[in-house]
Structure formats: structure tokens, C-alpha cells
Structure 1
């Protein structure tokens, strides 16, 4: 009987459970997606050549999952507390009908279990579908990686088990908390469950304006400190900057309690239009206690937008580093070329790597010790010299233009930087001058003729041949190796950023939605009075929409301003190697805001409309 009653209560109270159900579903979905990475195509690919990167990503994911589960647990407990407040009169009715406390607790525990099972099933289903989309995204990230492999439908039983385990524990805590709350509830408190109205006190205009100006000034100071000092210097001034930004945000929302109302009051046509006067006074009365929560929500949105935008925008920068750090398919350097010169191509051929058939183009050359008369700026006589012929050949392998001998004189005072590992600055001189210098080290570079994976496997086998490294002190880097390392970094940055960004976004939107639904329940008598006074349904719905919109839009608007300044500072940090792709990051962030924040906004509006109509 209790199961049937619990099921009926859940289905009948969907308007109350909508935000709760949405929060649980999003939480389960996000948790599953980012814990199913081990089964993703990209991780399988990385594990073959860079398993240590995969291990690092999975370790970070486990650590972040614990943090995320704690955040979601607190959020779910907060949402459950809201539902308990909304149902105080219903619980009082059960007690008045003679239902024992234990039975009422059992009923609520069953309801929590049912909504938990429904949201778990829906979240896992959505997570499985979206994880397939994440796999397509990672395949697009590996678009330049030469492979003929494909992937099928992704279903991670390990991630399902982990999700069920974590959320099972969360639901048990929620059910225990629910049962404990009911057992300690008093009938008189449940009957008088409605909260007292806040006393509305209009603040003097000068005080509101002063608070607003001080808040804006503090924000401008914090912005200036961030843009001038940068974002990576962690010192006392950094924490001062954060404190000023937080206090400025707090004062900005605090000033709205009088500033916005007085501002609109000055425009009589706008103030007396429809129910604007009612909406503004309701917003003004609530801002006395909600400006702190609006500050927290704004900062959560800032973290969500900033983390998401930066992690998405940085991906192109990280990917571009592959070409600069690996201009050839492979680079072999013999650092002992001055004492143990070696014919590297011949040595590779002796160990089974045929350079004639495996490579479409290659070049073997020497770097020389510098002459004091040919000093490289900043290096003196310890610099490195390369001949003009070798330089032009190396540039040709990169598809770049070489130099003429007439251009060399100016190079005596300018250092050129190459993409070779550990080469750094060097000087280009004519062949005759280079012939008079001593060999410093040797280098052999090349590009594969056939499939890169097969050619690299053959090259690795030759390098691993017994005695190869006894002939010199070698360092080998390959494009595929660096590519996979960079892709591992991309995946780590992207997934960690999206993981945290989505959690912050869901948390901010859920808290804001629950607050608005709670306020709608308190405002139900006021909307009933408006109906009796003759205000049509369309006007009342428009007033409610405006009220919910202001609560959602104001924190978001200021968070966007904060994010723009933060992104500008972040762009300045990475300008040495590239720039954040602002277009792509903005589109992805806007899409997430539209889907998640927009879903909560709509669910909140329709839920609040149902409540104020008197059907709650």
C-alpha cells in the first residue's frame, strides 16, 4: 500500500519534483559520462603509446569524482530540504489522520527511493547517449591522427557500477536525513509551515547609489589588477584582488534593493505599466536576504563559464604546439657527435630500418661549436652553428623557404629558433665557414614514406636493437609521440574543465531554481489577491516570468562580464604559444548555458506558475 501511495505522490507532485528530478538526472548523467572515459576510443588509442597519460587522466578523474560527488550530495540534500518545506502541510495532514511517525517516515523514504531510481535510470540513459557524442568529439580532436580504426557503441559497465554506487550512497544519506527530519517534526510547526513575510524597508536612494558606486569601483580595481598583474601570480595581492572582486559583486547585488526600484520609479510610464510595480517591489523585498546567495550564484556561474571557455579555447593552442615541437616525423640527435661521430642512417640500416624505402625524405647533418667571432646573442662562444646548405635542406623538409648567402650577414646578430628538441638558438653561416668549425653534435631527421604507425614501429625496433645506444648518446623524438602527449594534455584539460564547469553550472542553476520556487510558494497569496482585483491571467504570468527572469539574468550578466575580463587575462598568459579560440569557446559555453541554464529557467518558471495559480 505504501509503495502505491508513494508512487501516486511522486507522479502527482511532478511540479514539485521537476527541479529535483532535473538536478538528479543531470548529476547522474555528468557523473557517468566522465567516469566512462576509460572505455572511450581516445583512451584506448592513447593507452597503446602513452599509457602513463591515460593513467594520469584516470587518477585525476577519480579525484575529481569524489569532489563532484560531495558537491552533488550537498546540492541534493539542499533540494530535499526545500521539498520537505513545501510539504509541511501535507505531512501535518498525515499526522492529523492518525498515521504514526514511523509510517510517515517510511512513506517519504519510499518516495525518495522512487524518485532516485527514476532519475538514476533517466540519467544513465542520457549519459550513455551523450557519452557517444563525447566519443565523436574526441574523434574529431584526433582528426589529424593517421588511423583506420573505428569505434562502436560505448557502454561502460564499470562507470555504471560506479555511478550507481556513488549515487546509491547519496540516496541512502538523503533517505536517512528525511526519516530523521520527520521523526523530529512537531505537528504545530508543520501546520504553521508558512514562512513570515519579510519586512520591506526602502533604503535611502543616496545609500543605494553609494553602495552601487563603491561596488562598481571595487570591481574595476579588481579588473585592473587582474589585467595588469596577470592571472598566474599567486601572492597576497592575488588574494586581495579576489577579495575586492567578491566584495564588489556583493555590494552590486546589495545596491539593487533600492537602486533598481528608485531608478524605475523615476520613469512613471514604465513603473505603472502592467504589474511592473508589483514585480519590482517583490524583487526589492527579497533582495534583503538573497543578495548573498545571488553573489554566490554569480561566482559559481563565473567558474562555470570561465573554466568551460578556457578549457575549450585552449585545445586549439595545445594542438598547434605539435607542429612547432615536431616539425618532422622523427628527429634523432647524437649529443656525443664531437667524441663519437656516427653515421646514423647507416647504423639504422644495419639494425633493420631501411631508410631508402621507409622514408620519403630525410637529412643527416652536423651542428658545430661556435667561434667567438660568430657569437650568438646571449650565448657567446657557447652557441651552436649550422651550415647554410644544411639549414636550407632542413627547412625544405618542413615545406618552408630557405636562405640565400646574401642574407647571412644579418644572421650574425640574430638568433633563429628551430623546432628541434633541446637545440634552441643557433647561427646559420656559409658552408666554407662551417667547414672550419668542430662538430658539436649530429642530427638525423626524416618523414615516413608509408603508414606512420608501421614505419615508426620499424624505427623503434631498430633503435631498441642490442648495442645501438652504445654507439653514442642519443635522443629520439617522433611526431606521433609528441602528438599523443599533446592530445593527452588536450583531453585532460578539456574533460576536467567540462566536468567542473558542468557541475558548477548545475549547482548554480539548481540553487537559484529552488529559491525561486520557494519564493513563488510564499507569493501565492499575493497572486491570488491580484486575481481577485481583476488582473488577467496573462498579466500575472508575465509578471511572474519577469520576476524569474530577473533572478536568473542578473547573476548571469555580471558573471559574463567577469568572464570576459578573466578570459582576456588568460589569453595574455598563453599569448607566447598561441591564443584562446574565443569563437569556439564562446559557442560551446553558450550552448551549455542555453541547454542547462535554460532548462532550469523554464522548469522554474512553469513550476512557479503552477504554484501561484493555487494548484501547489
Structure 2
């Protein structure tokens, strides 16, 4: 019965689950494609020396280590996907509880739905990885500087590895989401979208200043290490990345205090149009949004740096190497370049997907507020401007922070590229940054359209009635 009910829920909520499905399919496609990258490359015409380089123990160790990183990133992505569905369905789950279904059985329905969509998205993601394998091969051929011949490649080992990782990620997310539902009362589920979050240090100026100083100190420490002790930074890349994430998070929380307070001290700005409503919308979810924005900021910064490093250590060395530079075979640097490019692209796309999902979740929670606003006389144009302003904050602040991080990170990469004789670094860095800005603008437009659909759903029908 529960499985049948879950199937009916998925069919009835196809529009909501389409976002969830696309997110999981994207994660499965990239997990499979990275794992199968060695098989893609092995299908090309390589020399014996190139095959020996690809089969080296050192390269396999590096690839395995980075595989762990990408699984961690996609764990966050899958978690945000489940959080989106959970927020969209809380009222429905509350109705199940009111009708007599206990918490464990309600959570079982959610788990069944998650596994159904997860299985379908895994199949679609792996199929997309196979279908698009010639294009992944094209990327590798470009990076490694070898001849490309399009071919469909299926890797059994990569399929099994991706299946294990993906099943574990979905299982953990399903269990944690089901636990949230089973432990919540119907009243809590019904009112979950109405309770604003409280910021740490709210009402205590000294705590707010401490957050600002702490965040600035952490970020400054990371930047100083990058510029003054680059070897230490590279050797402890993951710990320093976590420190940068913590510092960025504290700074964003401080902004959530300072900017609204500044606006309230200027009534002409604060009371103009729906500015006060927009500010309250941002403040209502400031705590969780600060973490999502900090994660997006760090992922964007890492993604830009890794893409530029990947280009520099593959194409830049191959095209810019000069006689006497001490590099006998630029191909030996290409595996590092490919890792940088692949993970950089994965981080960038993951950051944008996390941001889009987070905003869709917020839109699901805010639907009732927009209905009240419409009842008070606000028209669609005014509410649309308010929504665009909110999204501009959530997209613009992480992007600005990422560009600041990149100003420091790209300095280190420029020095490393210069040391190995890579050419065209400025053009690579400029093109990468410009591309990220363009893609962020496209994600902004798509997210705005989807949030508008969620918030204004049923408005036309109600007007006709």
C-alpha cells in the first residue's frame, strides 16, 4: 500500500520532482563520467609512454583521492535535493498524520518516494554518461593533446562504483529526511514555513561584532597562507578550504545583521515599495541561507581556480612550453590538468545547483506570504521585483565573495603556471571568470522563472473565479 501511495505521489508531484530528478541525475552522470574517464582515455590512440603515464600508481592515487572529494560535494547536492522535496511536502505529510497515520509510516512513504526517484535518476544519469561519453572524450583529448575519435564507452567497474556511492548517498538522505518527518508533530509541519530563523547573536551587538571579526580573521589567515606559505596551503588544501568556508559563513551572517540594520536607519529606502518585505524575507532564513551562500561561494572560488589550473597545466604547458624550460613531455602534466578541469566544472555546476535548490526551497516556504501580500493589494509586478531583488542577493553575494577569494587563489596559480612554463594564463583566467559570470546569470534567470511558478501558482485560476 505504501509503495502504491508513493508512486501516486510521485506522479502527482511531477513538477516538483522534476527538479529533484534533474539534480540527482546530474550527480550520477558526473560521478560515473569521472570514474570512467580512464576508460574513455584508454579508448583513444595513445603512445606507449602515454599509456604508461596513465597507468602509474601515483596518478591512480591522486584520482582516488579526488574521487572522495567529489563524493563529499555531491553528498551536499543530494541533501539539498531531499530538503527541497521535504519542504514542498510538509503540509501533505501533516495531513497524513492528522488522518491517523503515525510518524514512522509517513517517513516510510517519503523514503519510498526518494528511492523511486533515486533509482530513475541513477539510470538516467548513467545513461547520459554513456551517451555523452564521446564529448567527455573530446574534453580529455583536448587536454591531453591526443587525437579524438568519437565512440560510446561503457565501464562496468565505473557503473558499480557509481551505484555504490549513489545508493549510499540517497539512502542516508532518505533516512535523515524520514527521521525529520517522523519526529515532527502535525502542527510543526504545518507551521514550518512560517517560523523565522533566529540569527546567532541577535540582539547582542558584541556577539555580532565577534562574528564579523572572527570571520575576517579566518579568511585573512587563509589568504595570507596562500600568498606567503603556498606549499603549506597546497599540502593542507582541504583543512584550509574548511577554514575559508567557516570564515565566509561568519562574514555572511554578519552581513545579515548589518545590512538590514543600515536600511532601517534610512526609512526612505526601507519603506520604498516592497523593500521592507524583501528585507524580512531574507532575514527569515538568514541562518540557513548564510551556510548555503558560503558553500556556494567556496565552491565557485575552488571551481574557478581548478578550471584555470587545469587549463594551465595541460593546454598552457603544451602550447607555451619553450626549449630549455625543463619539461621533456608536457603530457605528464595533463592528468593533473584533467583533474583540475573536471573537478572545477563539477564544483561550479554543483554550486549553481545548490543555490538554485536552496532558492526553490525558500520559494516553497514563502508561497503563503506572497498570497497574503497579494490579498493586501500588491500586484504581480511589485512582487516580481521583490523576488528578483531577493535572488540578486543570494546569487550576487556568493559570486562577489568567490571573486575576492579567486583574486588571491589565482595569484598562486599564476606563479605555479609561470614556474612550469605555461602560456596564455591571463586569457584562460579571464575567459573562465567571464564564463562563470554568464552561467550564474543564466541560473539566476532559470531560478527566477521556477520560483515565480511556485509562488504565483494558482493566481490566475483564483482571479477567474
Q: TM-score, normalised by structure 2?
A: 0.79
Does the 8 A contact of 1:302 with 1:560 survive in 2? yes
Trace 1:429-448 onto structure 2 (pairs within 5 A): none
Gaps of 5+ in 2: 460-465
Cα shift at 1:47: 6.4
Aligned residues: 454
Q: Does 2:230 align with 1:231?
A: yes
Q: Does 2:442 align with 1:582?
A: no
Cα gap change, 1:549 to 1:111, in 2 (>3 Å): same
- Once structures 1 and 2 are overlaid, which stretch shifts more, 533-542 or 503-512? 503-512
Cα gap change, 1:606 to 1:4, in 2 (>3 Å): farther
Q: Which has the higher helix share?
A: 2
Structure-2 separation of matches of 1:75 and 1:41: 28
Cα gap change, 1:504 to 1:575, in 2 (>3 Å): same
Q: 1:29 is paired with a residue of what secondary structure?
A: helix
1:261 — aligned with what?
260
Does the 8 A contact of 2:39 with 2:155 survive in 1? no
Structure-2 separation of matches of 1:598 and 1:26: 20
Q: 2:377 is paired with a residue of what secondary structure?
A: coil
Q: 1:17 is paired with a residue of what secondary structure?
A: helix
Structure-1 separation of matches of 2:25 and 2:237: 37
1:307 — aligned with what?
306
Cα shift at 1:257: 2.7
Q: Of the candidates 379, 386, 394, which is equivalent to residue 536 of structure 1?
A: 379
Question: For 1:251-276, what per-residue CA distance to the aligned partner results, in whole angstroms no more than 9, with x for missing partners?
Answer: 53233234323555576665444322
Structure-2 separation of matches of 1:248 and 1:179: 32
Cα shift at 1:532: 1.4
Trace 1:604-615 onto structure 2 (pairs within 5 A): 604-613=447-456
Pairwise CA RMSD? 4.2
Question: For 1:389-435, what per-residue CA distance to the aligned partner results, in whole angstroms no more than 9, with x for missing partners?
Answer: xxxxxxxxxxxxxxxxxxxxxxxxxxxxx5789xxxxxxxxxxxxxx
**Structure whose alpha-carbon radius of gyration is higher:** 1
Q: Of the candidates 154, 157, 179, which is equivalent to residue 156 of structure 1?
A: 154
Structure-2 separation of matches of 1:237 and 1:100: 48
1:12 — aligned with what?
12
Structure-2 separation of matches of 1:212 and 1:494: 37
Cα shift at 1:550: 0.7
Question: For 1:562-599, what per-residue CA distance to the aligned partner results, in whole angstroms no more than 9, with x for missing partners?
Answer: 1022101321244233356232244245446644x556
Q: Of the candidates 314, 331, 354, which is equivalent to residue 487 of structure 1?
A: 331
Q: Of the candidates 350, 355, 371, which is equivalent to residue 512 of structure 1?
A: 355
Does the 8 A contact of 1:254 with 1:291 survive in 2? yes
Cα gap change, 1:78 to 1:5, in 2 (>3 Å): same
Q: 1:534 is paired with a residue of what secondary structure?
A: coil
1:28 — aligned with what?
28
Trace 1:23-422 onto structure 2 (pairs within 5 A): 23-41=23-41, 44-46=44-46, 48-56=48-56, 57-99=59-101, 104-141=106-143, 151-158=149-156, 159-177=158-176, 186-187=185-186, 189-194=188-193, 196-198=195-197, 223=223, 226-227=226-227, 229=228, 231-233=230-232, 249-264=248-263, 270-287=269-286, 290-320=289-319, 323-324=322-323
Does the 8 A contact of 2:305 with 2:413 survive in 1? no
Does the 8 A contact of 1:312 with 1:588 survive in 2? no
Does the 8 A contact of 1:509 with 1:600 survive in 2? yes
Question: For 1:436-473, what per-residue CA distance to the aligned partner results, in whole angstroms no more than 9, with x for missing partners?
Answer: xxxxxxxxxxxxxxxxxxxxxxxxxxxxxxxxxxxxxx
Structure-2 separation of matches of 1:102 and 1:274: 46
Structure-2 separation of matches of 1:39 and 1:114: 30
Does the 8 A contact of 1:279 with 1:547 survive in 2? yes
Cα shift at 1:82: 4.5
Structure-1 separation of matches of 2:239 and 2:114: 44
Cα gap change, 1:177 to 1:134, in 2 (>3 Å): same
Does the 8 A contact of 1:275 with 1:539 survive in 2? yes
Q: 1:40 is paired with a residue of what secondary structure?
A: helix
Q: TM-score, normalised by structure 1?
A: 0.62
Does the 8 A contact of 2:53 with 2:332 survive in 1? yes
1:450 — aligned with what?
none
Gaps of 5+ in 1: 325-417, 422-481
- Once structures 1 and 2 are overlaid, which stretch shifts more, 229-238 or 271-280? 229-238
Q: 1:170 is paired with a residue of what secondary structure?
A: helix
Structure-1 separation of matches of 2:315 and 2:356: 35
Question: For 1:331-371, what per-residue CA distance to the aligned partner results, in whole angstroms no more than 9, with x for missing partners?
Answer: xxxxxxxxxxxxxxxxxxxxxxxxxxxxxxxxxxxxxxxxx
